[in-house]
Amino acid sequence: MKPLQASSGDLNADRRADFAEMLLGSGEPAQAAELLLGALELAPQWAPGWFRLGEMQEAAGFHDQAAQAWTMALKLDPADRLGAALKLQLIGHAPAAAAPPSAFVETLFDHYADNFEEALVEKLGYRMPDFLDRAIRMLRPGRFRLALDLGCGTGLMGERLRPIVDRLEGYDISARMLRKARAKGIYDLLAEADLQHFSHTGAKADLVVAADVFIYVGALERIAGAVAEALADEGVFAFSVETLASGDDFTLLPSRRYAHSEAYVRRVLGASGFSVLSLESTTIRHDRGEPVGGLAVVTRKGHAV
């Protein structure tokens, strides 16, 4: 996580926390953790402080202490807006889960909404909407009657889809992201939706797109089934995932994103009644200067012809 933004409610605790951040930035995580622990003695109910303490202790190599701090953060914030449960999983102090906490995903994107596009497109080289747009147009030329943009965010994918669809609906868990998308005026409908529980009750769509979204979903069986239900026969489903090189179906990465194996993606699609039209390896974005590999997938509901 980024350095703490929320106040503890105690001025002295906040000052100690600020100094702890300075120590961490100077490469002294153990000393930073010690100082932040002192701040938490003044503000023991400060869940973000406990979470940040865990990160400092992890950086210092004190994994058992970090686990205790994240457990306390989770106790104080059971909804887990900061993703403490994911941190515990990554250091082996909690069993692997099939999905992230919904409150964590919502909080994450609410936090990044204001500078999301600048950070993702200009700094991280994000080009997946362009990639999927080209693939869709090539494999299924012509217009679509109804398209659903899942995890639409600020509307980067929607901007590409708008010229080829009659009606465009966007769904996202983050209200702040939806406000950014609404300001663009490209969607006919925007609504809050948690993809872990997504279902579409309106008219059948003939295109569903989820660009760089399933990295925050984990297990794909349920969402693939929901998309199949939302699509008309021969409807197109286009999406991307981060690539998992190991033999596992999917795994939680240190970034707290999920990566999926190609074999797992193909198996889930087949079980949900999709045939693969195109599956290409590509670079989704860059992270700390390194390319993040992924798969861009375009499928059709129904058997291959």
Q: Are residues 258 and 158 in the same domain?
A: yes
Which residues touch 305 (CB under 8 Å, ≥6 apart)? Answer: none
CB atoms within 10 A of CB 68: 16
Q: Are residues 73 and 140 in the same domain?
A: no
Domain assignment present for 22: yes
pLDDT of residue 10: 87
Conformation bin of residue 257: beta by default, left when phi > 0, alpha when psi is -120 to 50: beta
Domain assignment present for 28: yes
pLDDT of residue 4: 43
Domain assignment present for 108: no
pLDDT of residue 246: 77
Instruction: List Cα–Cα distances, 149 to 113, 140, 182, in angstroms.
Output: 17, 17, 13
Q: Are residues 29 and 156 in the same domain?
A: no
d(CA 301, CA 269): 9
CB atoms within 10 A of CB 115: 11
Q: Are residues 73 and 41 in the same domain?
A: yes
> Distance between alpha carbon 52 and the CA centroid of its chain, in Å?
20
CATH code assigned at 91? 1.25.40.10
CB atoms within 10 A of CB 264: 18
Q: Are residues 70 and 136 in the same domain?
A: no
- Residue 65 is which amino acid? Q
DSSP letter at 295?
A: E
Q: Are residues 168 and 60 in the same domain?
A: no
The model carries a pTM of 0.91
For the chain, the distance separating the N- and C-terminal CA atoms, rounded to the nearest angstrom, is 47
Closest CA to 229 of 165, 277, 275, 272: 272
pLDDT of residue 304: 56
Structure tokens at 138: 């090539």
Q: Are residues 125 and 66 in the same domain?
A: no
Domain assignment present for 101: no
Domain assignment present for 154: yes
Can you give the residue range of the structural domain that contains 287? 114-301
Q: Are residues 61 and 133 in the same domain?
A: no
Listed as ranges, residues in the chain with pLDDT below 50 are: 1-4, 305
Stated as kind and residue range, the H or E segment containing 210 is strand 205-210
How many structural domains compose the chain? Answer: 2
Is residue 169 within 8 A of residue 149, CB to CB? The reply is: yes
pLDDT of residue 17: 94
Q: Are residues 122 and 84 in the same domain?
A: no
Q: Are residues 71 and 122 in the same domain?
A: no
Structure tokens at 91: 């250091």
Structure tokens at 115: 């500078």
